[in-house]
């Protein structure tokens, strides 16, 4: 069957309309504000800090200063263990999330809970994120030397092991550069003060930028 000139013109117009629709869809997706959820404990929640000085707020400001259109959602709850984070995952990490930071495990360690239990809960969290194709950054924690070398060895292995198993990005130690420094922590010696938060954000920022790169793609 031979197409008439009118049919050919109509076909070309239809292709052009489809191409324009695709371009508009891509542009809209690029303009979308990314939603980065930080699922964690008091270190994420901003325990002991005034509004606007916690990890998620400072991280969002740092990212926006670099040109990112992003909303960092504070899904941190003080005192929570990895199992607690798992229990509320489904409502703390909504389906429209674009990326995820997992900061859990410190309270498991401080309470001397089984490293195996913490690992199991964190694994379940990462499994959920993986099933949702959600780019994830796992932040590590280190055991206190007071818990003994055997406990420390088992606990510290949790994070690199899981990052490798689930193929997610790993930031080895959330408190890098801040832990055990009285000048950078509150009086309890456990939670960062505003200066400590600034250092945490400065050091983790490249890893978060890489995470957002995956979310955009």
Name the pLDDT band for 216 (thresholds 50, 70, 90): confident
DSSP string computed for 48-82: T--TT-SHHHHHHHHHHHTT--EEEEEEE-TT--H
**pLDDT value, residue 27:** 46
What residue ranges do the domains of the chain occupy? 1-31, 32-216
Q: Which residues contact 183 (CB under 8 A, 6 or more apart)?
A: 195
More confident residue, 65 or 21: 65
Of 173, 167, 169, 81, which Cα lies nearest the Cα of 122? Answer: 81
Torsion angle defined by CA atoms of residues 29, 163, 110 and 85, in that order, rounded to the nearest 10 degrees: 40
**pLDDT value, residue 210:** 98
Q: What is the pLDDT of residues 98-126, one digit of tens each?
A: 999 999 999 999 999 999 999 999 999 99
- Taking 60 as the threshold, does the pLDDT of residue 131 lie above it? yes
Specify whether the CB–CB gap between 82 and 108 falls below 8 A: yes
Just list the catalytic residues.
42, 188, 191
Specify whether the CB–CB gap between 197 and 54 falls below 8 A: yes
Q: Which residues contact 123 (CB under 8 A, 6 or more apart)?
A: 162, 165, 166
Name the pLDDT band for 12 (thresholds 50, 70, 90): low
Percentage of the chain modeled with pLDDT above 90: 84
- Taking 80 as the threshold, does the pLDDT of residue 40 lie above it? yes
User: Quick one: DSSP state of residue 96?
Assistant: T
State the pTM of this model.
0.86
Kindly report the average pLDDT of the chain as a whole number.
91
Domain 32-216 has CATH 3.40.50.1110: yes
Q: What is the pLDDT of residues 158-202, one digit of tens each?
A: 999 999 999 999 999 999 999 999 999 999 999 999 999 999 999
More confident residue, 29 or 60: 60
3-state DSSP call for residue 137? strand
Angle between helices 149-156 and 115-131 (to 10 degrees): 0
More confident residue, 51 or 30: 51
d(CA 135, CA 138): 10
**Residues, the chain, total?**
217
d(CA 188, CA 195): 15
């Amino acid at each position: 069957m031979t197409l008439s000139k009118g049919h050919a013109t109509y076909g070309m117009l239809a292709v052009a309309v489809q191409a324009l629709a695709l371009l508009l869809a891509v542009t809209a997706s690029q303009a979308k504000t990314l939603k980065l959820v930080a699922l964690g404990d008091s270190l994420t929640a901003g325990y002991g800090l005034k509004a606007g000085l916690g990890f998620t707020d400072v991280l969002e400001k740092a990212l926006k200063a670099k040109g990112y259109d992003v909303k960092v959602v504070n899904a941190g709850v003080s005192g929570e263990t990895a199992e607690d984070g798992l229990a509320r995952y489904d409502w703390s990490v909504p389906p429209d999330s674009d990326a995820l930071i997992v900061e859990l495990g410190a309270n498991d360690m401080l309470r001397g809970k089984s490293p195996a239990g913490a690992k199991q809960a964190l694994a379940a969290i990462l499994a959920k994120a993986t099933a949702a194709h959600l780019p994830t950054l796992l932040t590590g924690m280190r055991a206190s030397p007071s818990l003994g070398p055997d406990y420390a060895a088992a606990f510290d292995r949790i994070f690199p092991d899981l990052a490798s198993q689930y193929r997610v990005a790993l930031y080895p130690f959330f408190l890098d550069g801040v832990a055990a420094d009285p000048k950078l922590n509150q009086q309890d010696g456990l939670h960062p003060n505003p200066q400590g938060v600034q250092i945490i954000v400065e050091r983790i920022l490249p890893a978060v930028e890489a995470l957002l790169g995956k979310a955009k793609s």
